[in-house]
């Protein structure tokens, strides 16, 4: 009998990539000959908590319904030895209860979790609002210990996790703990998604887009200050407008630069989406951006590390923006295309993830 992958999914938010994972991820897993059974959590509130990735109360309702479904699978003897549970968000306390059931019932499953953020990152919501309180750090350590595979998208993310939990480097944590795996996030569907969008750089407007959440760690105030002093360009804040995903992509297509001054980023999906649509990814040389993007697209981290540093380096940042906006369009378009290809192949393709799961299910 073929072993089953139980996909414990993320709640779908229309304006986030989670809505695309809802349909695309199960298909991509099945295309890699992985028998996949999706575990959803029903209906969620349509809006996220202000500035957040999800709805703080709705997500607990969603996860609780997933737990009830999982418990019924066990009570009906449906889960078998060798089956695999993949949590698309590793920060899900139900994994502890899953581990409880599997071990007490003697059913030998494997579990994988995809880490996005947590209190171990001081710039994340959990890090800022809860910090290092013992309950949250103990909870994260317990969840980490439940997983046979702890999946991360970037080495930078492993680094901040390792620094918090053991004062280690990323390499030291991976040497000591074979559960830690750096894999690409399964987003190859974006290539098909963008086939119908206009990526011709010559038809772009003099537009600069801010695609991030309206949260303190994204430093929107820097973007707005630049807009005030560079009125010759159209500065567009995506989340200040009630956009559908399709509308958002059209605004990306019109833009020449996707701008980041982020203080927290463990991957950077919106910047990559922009690059796929021939938008110049202007990012600081820090966080996950350092390992993901060619130096051509990065500016020195000190330019936006905080407001005071930004003020001192503002003329340099303004000059760089003007140089990009005035660059030769065909040359710039080719550089963006080539770089996005290599970035996508390493960080936005799920092949390594699928292979680990496939080999585990054998």
pLDDT digits (tens, 9 = 90+) for 251-276: 999 999 999 999 999 999 999 999 99
> Residue 56: its pLDDT value, please?
77
CA–CA separation, 210 and 220 (whole Å):
8
CA–CA separation, 236 and 247 (whole Å):
13
Q: Average pLDDT in the 95-115 region?
A: 98
Between the two ends of the chain, the Cα-to-Cα distance in Å is: 11
Q: Model's pTM, two decimal places?
A: 0.92
pLDDT digits (tens, 9 = 90+) for 164-210: 888 899 999 999 999 999 999 999 999 888 888 877 877 899 999 99
Domains, the chain, in order of start with CATH, read 5-188+349-361 (3.40.50.2000), 193-346 (3.40.50.2000)
pLDDT band per the 50, 70, 90 thresholds, residue 296: very high
Q: What is the DSSP string of 304-328?
A: GSSHHHHHHHHHHHHHHHHHHHTS-
pLDDT digits (tens, 9 = 90+) for 228-241: 999 999 999 999 99
Res 51 pLDDT > 60: no
Across the chain, the runs of DSSP E, i.e. the strands, are 5-8, 36-39, 84-87, 110-114, 149-152, 180-182, 207-210, 234-237, 257-259, 280-284, 298-299
pLDDT digits (tens, 9 = 90+) for 199-221: 787 789 999 999 999 989 999 99
> Residue 17: its pLDDT value, please?
77
């Amino acid at each position: 009998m073929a072993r089953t992958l139980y996909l414990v999914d993320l709640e779908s938010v229309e304006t986030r990539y989670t809505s695309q994972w809802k349909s695309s991820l199960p298909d991509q897993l099945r295309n890699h000959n992985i028998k996949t059974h999706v575990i959803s959590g029903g209906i969620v509130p349509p809006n996220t908590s202000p500035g957040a990735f999800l709805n703080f109360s709705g997500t607990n309702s969603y996860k609780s319904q997933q737990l009830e479904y999982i418990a019924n699978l066990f009570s009906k003897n449906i889960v078998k030895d060798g089956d695999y549970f993949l949590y698309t968000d590793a920060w899900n306390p139900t994994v502890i209860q899953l581990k409880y059931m599997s071990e007490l019932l003697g059913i030998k499953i494997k579990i994988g979790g995809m880490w996005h953020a947590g209190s171990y990152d001081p710039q994340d919501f959990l890090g800022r609002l809860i910090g290092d309180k013992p309950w949250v750090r103990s909870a994260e350590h317990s969840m980490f210990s439940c997983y046979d595979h702890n999946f991360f998208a970037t080495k930078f993310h492993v680094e901040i996790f390792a620094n918090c939990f053991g004062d280690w480097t990323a390499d030291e944590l991976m040497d000591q703990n074979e559960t830690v795996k750096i894999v690409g996030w399964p987003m190859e569907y974006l290539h098909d998604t963008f086939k119908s969008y206009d990526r011709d750089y010559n038809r772009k407007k003099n537009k600069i887009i801010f695609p991030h959440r309206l949260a303190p760690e994204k430093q929107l105030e820097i973007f707005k200050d630049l807009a005030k002093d560079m009125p010759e360009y159209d500065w567009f804040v995506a989340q200040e407008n009630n956009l559908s995903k399709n509308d958002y992509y059209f605004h990306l297509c019109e833009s020449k630069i996707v701008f980041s001054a982020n203080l927290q980023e463990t991957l950077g999906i919106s910047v990559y989406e922009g690059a796929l649509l021939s938008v110049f990814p202007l990012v600081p040389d820090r966080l996950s951006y350092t390992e993901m993007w060619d130096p051509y697209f990065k500016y020195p981290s000190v330019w936006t590390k905080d407001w005071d540093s930004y003020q001192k380096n503002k003329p340099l940042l303004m000059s760089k923006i003007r140089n990009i906006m005035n660059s030769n369009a065909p040359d710039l378009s080719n550089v963006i295309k080539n770089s996005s290809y290599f970035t996508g192949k390493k960080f936005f393709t799920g092949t390594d993830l699928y292979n680990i799961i496939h080999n585990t299910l054998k």
